Amino acid sequence: MSVIASLWSSFDPGLVFSSPMMLVAATFQLWMLIDAIRRGEWFWAAAIFFFSVISALLYFFMVYRAQGPVGGGTGGFELPGAGERRRIGELQSRIYHLDHARDHLDLADIYFAKGKLDKAEASYRESLKRDANDVDAIAHLGQCLLRQKRGAEAKPLLERALAQDPKHDYGYTQMALAETHMALGETEAALAAWRLVLANNSYARARVQYAELLLARGESEAARHELREVISDDAHAPRFQRGRDRVWVKRAKKLLG
């Protein structure tokens, strides 16, 4: 039986505080329960509340770790190859002693992945001071500015990166440019950019936003085709990919519904 449900049915403060393990288990289970409710994961919320702490552990590894904390990160806009959290201290030490452009870039990518966009922007700019032609720093700064709703500043950076490498970051930079065109109201340019992405990739992020533009133009059947592809691909995707694309699959189902 769930630790939370057990305590709820027969609450005994003395029992809770005399058993540290029960207190830890209940705290962890409550944490995962609240997170599941905030995400709208009702199946998981029910499993965590009514069943054992094992349900909370499964949720932690299958959902929480795959998607990150609610309100943190960048909601499906992750950069490929971003570093691990534990590397921040190491990179800061390397920057202090060596001050290499690449270390500033790696630190910026970690901040970006964690949603700390102000810190990410500052580190990207420090990297570019040391290597003004680094295509990764140029493109990632553009993405960072876009996420701060500064599309007009992001656009020339993304275009400059793509001029150097049209397939940069496996199409992620092209996707960012498409989103920049959308943010600036440049619909035709956005459609062209999405088609370039989808010519070489099948990202859910690209298909859903492309479909939204098609729907806005009244091209309903073409849009539905893209959305069905998103849902079909998700059914056969590996677990890590399904966690990453969850936000886009939900949006695709909502648009079809």
Q: What mean pLDDT comes out for the span 14-36?
A: 75
Looking at the predicted structure, is the pLDDT value of residue 2 above 70?
no
pLDDT for the residue numbered 11: 42
How long a stretch of residues is the chain?
257
Looking at the predicted structure, is the pLDDT value of residue 197 above 90?
yes
The most confident of the ranges 17-26, 51-60, 172-181 is 172-181
Q: Which domains, from first to last, does the chain contain?
A: 3-67 (no CATH), 72-170 (1.25.40.10)
Sign of the alpha-carbon dihedral angle for 157, 163, 165, 171: positive
| Choice among 35-39, 112-116, 143-147, 198-202 with the minimum mean pLDDT | 35-39
Give CA–CA dist 134/156, Å, rounded.
15
Q: Give 76's pLDDT tier (boundaries 50, 70, 90).
A: low
Q: Where are the alpha helices (DSSP H) in the chain?
A: 3-9, 13-18, 20-39, 42-50, 53-59, 65-67, 87-97, 101-113, 117-130, 135-147, 151-164, 172-183, 187-200, 204-216, 220-235, 239-256
Give CA–CA dist 32/196, Å, rounded.
40
Looking at the predicted structure, is the pLDDT value of residue 19 above 70?
no
Report the candidate in 228, 219, 218 with the shortest Cα–Cα distance to residue 253: 228
pLDDT for the residue numbered 82: 44
3-state secondary structure of 116: coil
Token readout for 249 is 């699959």
Q: What mean pLDDT comes out for the span 184-201?
A: 97
What percentage of the chain exceeds 70 in pLDDT?
Answer: 84
Token readout for 197 is 């992405």
What percentage of the chain exceeds 90 in pLDDT?
Answer: 58
Give CA–CA dist 15/197, Å, rounded.
59
Give CA–CA dist 158/142, Å, rounded.
5
Q: Give 7's pLDDT tier (boundaries 50, 70, 90).
A: very low
Q: Give 207's pLDDT tier (boundaries 50, 70, 90).
A: very high
Of 183 and 80, the one with more pLDDT:
183
Looking at the predicted structure, is the pLDDT value of residue 225 above 70?
yes
**Residue 206 contacts by C-beta under 8 Å, 6 or more apart in sequence?**
171, 175, 178, 194, 197, 198
pLDDT for the residue numbered 201: 93
pLDDT for the residue numbered 73: 52
